[in-house]
Homo-oligomer: A and B are copies of this chain.
Amino acid sequence: MRKQLTVHTQSHDYPIIITSKSQMAVEIAPYIKGKQVMVVTNITVEKLYLQDLLTGLSEQFEVHHVVLPDGEQYKTQQYIDRIYDALMDAHCGRDVTLVALGGGVVGDMTGFAAASFMRGVNFIQIPTTLLSQVDSSVGGKTGINHPKGKNMIGAFWQPQMVLADMHTLTTLPKRELSAGMAEVIKYALIMDVEFLTWLEDNMADLMGLDEIALAEAVARCCQYKADIVAQDEREAGKRALLNFGHTFGHVIETHEGYGQWLHGEAVAAGMVQAAKLSQQMQWISRDDVDRICEVLQAAQLPIVPPAIELTTALDLMQHDKKVKSGQVRLILLKSLGDAVVTADFDQTQLEAVLNEHV
């Protein structure tokens, strides 16, 4: 089983290879330009896949590695310094290739280290979580968190290739599989109601780790995102739709502390909030909202946010990146499969949705 798609970006085109039980080193070697390789991973993924990758690469390359702790709370300046330090200690030069072996945190940090080491070096992504396979494979977003906000420091930087191996999902905790599925469902809600039907029909197979079904879902999501991003690399318009559920989700994540709610879980509950506000606007029906809740629940995702004081929630919302000159903008659903960015919502209705915790 093997699928391949090409992502077009302003700087260059690159492939996403979707496969299973691959020899990772063999797959990525053709995309490494220089002699030096720095593999970045975390302590969890290290145990599963690092040694094989290093051994495979070391036949052709001078291979170094750095292992980070596992968790969103380490996606910080302090831990990206570990990557810089490893690069400096290994005397890496401008032709080094960084390889991100892990989930979204490893990918975002490795990507930003690649973007900023010597003002930019090559990198390759091997995403090992469903979330990172569908979300980080396309778009070139890299970065770290600031104590006062997620992903506040970063860069747009495109990989040389992405290797998504479905077999890595068999070692993923179920809760993280669900969290990744939230983003899969997001694509259906903002882009394609037909895909929503497909997901409803195939959710049992997906959650049962059927690799054919997973590959189909990952390929579809990457293609949706690639289509959006090709039009709009710097997030002027359409790309913002990818943040459906995220403004609400950021409030949850920030308030609860990173790591308590997984990103995908917060996005799931956030999508329900966005859907409810869309219903208040009379764009979608109560039945549509129920359908969203059901597919999320089939993926074992939460649909109710934690209790957060309204004033706190509104203040946290002000820190969202989509705020323009103090004006909060939200992504809402015109219908299932069709999202819009808007600042034109009723503040009272927003507050009613934020106040609903049951």
Chain A residues within 8 Å of B, Cβ to Cβ: 34-36, 77, 81, 84-85, 88-89, 91, 93-95, 112, 115-120, 141-143, 146, 148-149, 151-156, 234, 318-319, 321, 323-326
Contacts and interface: CB of A to CB of B under 8 A. Distances in A.
B153 A116 contact: yes
Given A117-B153, A120-B156, A155-B119, A318 B91 contact: yes
22 contacts: A36-B325, A77-B81, A84-B146, A84-B153, A85-B146, A91-B318, A91-B323, A93-B324, A95-B324, A115-B155, A116-B153, A116-B154, A116-B155, A118-B152, A118-B154, A118-B321, A119-B143, A119-B151, A119-B155, A119-B156, A120-B155, A120-B234
Nearest to A149: B88
Given A91-B326, A93-B324, A117-B152, 12 more contacts: A34-B325, A77-B77, A84-B146, A84-B153, A85-B146, A88-B148, A88-B149, A91-B319, A119-B142, A119-B143, A119-B151, A120-B234
Contacts of A112: 116
A325 B81 contact: no
B146 A94 contact: no
Contacts of A119: 141-143, 151, 154-156
Contacts of A81: 77
Given A77-B77, A143-B119, A93 B323 contact: yes
Contact of A321 (B94, B116, B148): B94
Nearest to A113: B153
- Looking at A35, A112, A118, A151, which has the most chain B CB atoms within 10 Å of its CB? A118
Contacts of A84: 146, 152-153
